Amino acid sequence: MQKEERLKKEEVITFTIIFLIIFMEIVFQKFTKKAIQDSTGDLESLKSEIIRVCSENEDFEIADENEKENIINSMQNARDKWENSVRQLEYFISYDELDNVKSKMDLTMTELEIDSYDDSVKDLEESIHSLEEIQEKYKFKIKTIL
C-alpha cells in the first residue's frame, strides 16, 4: 500500500514536471517567434526602402539627405529593438547566435553611414537569414524538449 502511494506521488510529480517543461517551451516559443518576426519585418522593410530609394539613382546611392537620415534612423530603431529582445532571449538562446545578428546589424549601420548601400543590403539579408536560422533551430519540437 505504501509503495503504491509513493509510486502515485512520483507519477504526479513526473507529469507535473513534464507539463511545466512543455508550458515553458510554449511561452518561450511565442516570445522568440514574436521577437524574431518583428526584427525580420523591420529589416525586410528597411532593405526594401534602401533598394527603392537607391534604384531611383543610377549609382545606387541616396541623393536626398533626409531619406538617408530616415534610413539610418530606421536601422538604429531596428537595432535598438533587437537589443531589447536579446535581453530576454539570452536566457534561452546561445549568446553567440544573438550577438552574431547584432554584429551584422552594427556592420549594416556602419555601411549605411559611409554610403555603402550595396554592402548594407547584403548584410541585411545575412541578418534576416541568421534570424530565420535561430527561429528554425529553436522551433518547438518534441526532440527539443527531450
Q: Which domain holds residue 92?
A: 2-145
- Tell me if 120 sits within 8 A of 60, measured CB to CB: no
pLDDT for 139: 75
pLDDT for 145: 54
CATH of the domain at 37: 1.20.120
Q: Strands (DSSP E) along the chain, which ranges?
A: none
Handedness of CA 145, 132, 77, 45 (dihedral sign): negative
97: three-class secondary structure by DSSP: helix
Query: Cα separations (Å) of 113 from 43, 62, 116?
Result: 16, 11, 8
Which grid cell is 85?
529582445
pTM for this entry: 0.76
- Per-10-residue mean pLDDT, the chain, length 146: 78 92 85 90 90 72 76 90 87 85 90 84 91 83 57
Q: What is the DSSP letter of 142?
A: H
Q: How far does Cα 122 stand from its chain's mean position?
A: 17
pLDDT for 13: 93
The number of domains in the chain is 1
The maximal CA–CA distance of the chain, rounded, in angstroms, is 85
Give the residue among 99, 121, 119 at the shortest CA–CA distance from 46: 121
- Tell me if 39 sits within 8 A of 82, measured CB to CB: yes
Helices 95-113 and 117-137: crossing angle in degrees, nearest 10, is 160
Q: How far does Cα 25 stand from its chain's mean position?
A: 17
